[in-house]
A = this chain, B = another copy of it.
Amino acid sequence: MPYILVQVTDEGVTREQKARIIAGATDLMVEVLGKDPESTFVLIDEVKTDNWGHGGEMVTLRRQRERRGG
Contact = CB atoms under 8 A, between A and B. Distances in A.
A44 B53 CA distance: 8
The number of times this chain is found in the oligomer is 6
Contact of A25 (B3, B28, B33, B40): B28
Nearest to A20: B32
Contacts of A69: none
Interface string A37-67: 1111111111100111111111100000000
A28 B39 CA distance: 20
Contacts of A6: 2-4, 29
Interface of A: 1-9, 13, 15, 17-29, 31-33, 35, 37-47, 50-59
